[in-house]
A = this chain, B = another copy of it.
C-alpha cells in the first residue's frame, strides 16, 4: 500500500485557521489533528487514518460505504443500494418491496452497473495545474490549459498505476489533488431488508428524528470471479456506544456551498434552488400519478420517486436556510471585513485582484444562461436514460477522434471503462415510464423556450410533447444492449440518436459557455479568494464537499426541538410502539418479518442514533467508528435542521442520523436468520 501523501503548499497554508465546534469535512491529507487533540485528547495517527480510509468505499452512483469483512462484504444504506436493487427487480419479483438474502455465494445477485472505488492515495498537483496557466492567457485559454493538464495528469497516473485517477478541484480552485482509486465493477447483492423497515416512516419521516430504520444493504465485491480480500476492513465495536462518545464519519459528502460569496448564495436562492424545486415538483407529481395506476407501475417508478421526494425535502430545507436573512447577513458581515482589508491593506489587491467582482461577473453570465443550461446543457429536457445513451453514443464517435485531454471530461481515457459500464448496463427500462418522463420534460422545454424556438421545433418535429415522446420511446432500438454496442462502432439509424445529434451543437455550446465563462472564471476567482481569506485570517481549513473522501467527527448527542428534548438513541421497542400508535397504517406499519420476530428481539437494543459530525448528501452509507476505529453505526440521514449545513455548520440542533451496529446484529440474527453474516462480520 502506498502511503497517503500529505499535501504541501496551499492546503497546509489554508489549514492555518481552525474551524469552530466540531465543524469540518476534513481532507485525509489535511486532517484535524490539533482540534481532536485539544478538544477530545485524541491522537489522530497515520495508521488509524489509513485503516479507516482503506475500509471506506465510494458508491459511484452517489453514496458511501465500507468493507466489513475480509471476504469483500460492503455495508451501505438501503437507499444507496436501491438503484441497483431496483435494476435487479422485475414485474414478478420486487426486491425493493420484499427484500433479499443470499444464503450462499451462488445466490448472490450480480448488479447491473454499480462501480465502487477505494481511495488508495492522494497527490497534491496544485503547482502543476496552476503552472499550466500563464498571465497572458484569456479566461478561455486558462480554462483550456487547466483542462489539458488535468487530463494529462490523469492519463499518466492511470498508465503508471492502473488506478482510476481523478484530479479534484478543492477550495474552488485553491488546490488540485490527484485522487487514485482502486475500482471494482463486479458487485453482488447479498442482503437487503424490505423497504418497509429500511425506510420505515417513508417520505413523511425522511429527514426527521426519532427514527426506526434499518437502512442497510450488504454487497460483496468480486474480482476475477472471487470475493476480494480488501486491504483493510472495519470490525464492529463490541463495546456499548453511549451519548457523549466521540465518533468519526468517513465518507463522501457530495456538495456544499460554504465558501460561496453572498452573491453566489443569492444566485442559489433566486435561481438554482427554485428551478431545481420546480423540476422535482414536476417529477414528483408525475411519478406519484404514474405510481397510482397499478402496483406494477408503482414498482417501476419507486426508486425514481424516492429520489425526487428526497431531493424535494433537501432543496426545501436548503431554500428555507437561504431565505432566512441571518444566513446571508453573517456571510455579508464576513465579506465586509475582507473587502475592507482588500481596500485598505497595501498589496492585497495587487496580489489577489478583486475576486468578488470577478465572481459577480461570472454569476451574471450564469443567471442568463441558467435555464437553457439546466434544460439542454445538462440534459434535463430529455429525461429518459435512452436519451443519455443516445447522446453518449453520438458524442463518443466525435470525441474519440481527439486526443484524450481535449475531450469532454467523461470521454477521457481514464474514464472510458466507467462510461461503458453505464452504457452497456442491462438495467430494465419500461416504455410507459420512460415515455411519461420524456413527455413531461419535453413539455418543460417547450414551456421555457417557447414553441417558436428553432431547437424546440426541431426536437418536437411538429408534434405535441406527448406524441413525440411516445414515438421516440416506441421506436428507438437502444433498449437493446447489443444494439448499443453496434451503434458505438457502426453507423446506425435510430430516432433517439438522431434527436441527440440534433441538439448536440446547442448542448455543447451551452456547456462551453458554462465552462469557459462561468465555471472556469469562478474556479479561478475562488482560488484567489481562498488565498485572500487565509491571509486575512478568515478561512475554515477544509474545502467544500466534492464527493471525495472526508473525515468528520463529533459526539453522539440528542437535541432540543419545539421545546422538547429529543434523546440521542431510539430502541427497537420504539418501532413496535410507533406502529401501534398509528394503528399499523402506512407508512408506520411494522413489516410482517419484524412482527413475527418481535418476541425474540431484545426491545432495549439501540436502533438509530444522532450525532454532530459534519455531513451532507453523499455521506449516506458512511461508516461511523469510535476512537478505536471500530464500527458503531451507519449514517443514513440528517435531521431537517441539518439541511442548512449545505451553507454553514451548526451543531445546536443539526444532527447526523445513523443505524446502530447493535440493531444490525439483532436484525440479521433474529429477524432474518442470517447468523452466517453476523459471524462473517464478527458482530
Contacts and interface: CB of A to CB of B under 8 A. Distances in A.
A266 B451 contact: yes
Contacts of A293: 204
B289 A462 contact: no
A324 B295 CA distance: 31
Contact of A465 (B289, B323, B446, B466): B323
A296 to B, nearest CB: 12
Contact of A450 (B270, B312, B320): B270
A323 B289 contact: no
Q: Quick one: which of A204, A294, A463, A585 has the most chain B CB within 10 A? A: A204
Tier of interface size on chain A? 35 or more
A281 B280 CA distance: 10
Nearest to A202: B292
A395 interface: no
Nearest to A582: B294
A269 B320 contact: no
B451 A270 contact: yes
Contacts of A464: 320, 323-325
A292 B451 contact: no
Interface string A168-205: 00000000000000000000000000000000001110
A278 B279 CA distance: 10
Nearest to A324: B464
Nearest to A273: B447
A561 to B, nearest CB: 15
Contact of A443 (B266, B281, B289, B319): B319
Interface string A437-480: 00000010011001100000000001111110000000000000
A337 interface: no
Interface in A323-337: 323-325
Nearest to A321: B464
A43 to B, nearest CB: 42
A613 B270 CA distance: 47
A288 B446 CA distance: 27
A449 to B, nearest CB: 10
Nearest to A278: B278
Contact of A289 (B204, B266, B274, B463): B204
Contacts of A582: 294
Given A204-B293, A289-B204, A320 B281 contact: no
A564 to B, nearest CB: 17
A137 interface: no
B323 A270 contact: no
A323 B292 contact: no
A204 B292 contact: yes
Interface in A255-291: 266, 269-270, 274, 278, 281-282, 284-285, 288-289
Nearest to A266: B451
B292 A203 contact: yes
Given A202-B292, A281-B281, A292-B202, A274 B323 contact: no
B292 A587 contact: yes
A443 B323 contact: yes
Nearest to A466: B320
A204 B294 CA distance: 9
Interface of A: 202-204, 266, 269-270, 274, 278, 281-282, 284-285, 288-289, 292-295, 312, 319-320, 323-325, 443, 446-447, 450-451, 462-467, 582, 585, 587
Given A270-B451, A281-B281, A324-B464, 4 more contacts: A204-B292, A281-B284, A285-B312, A323-B465
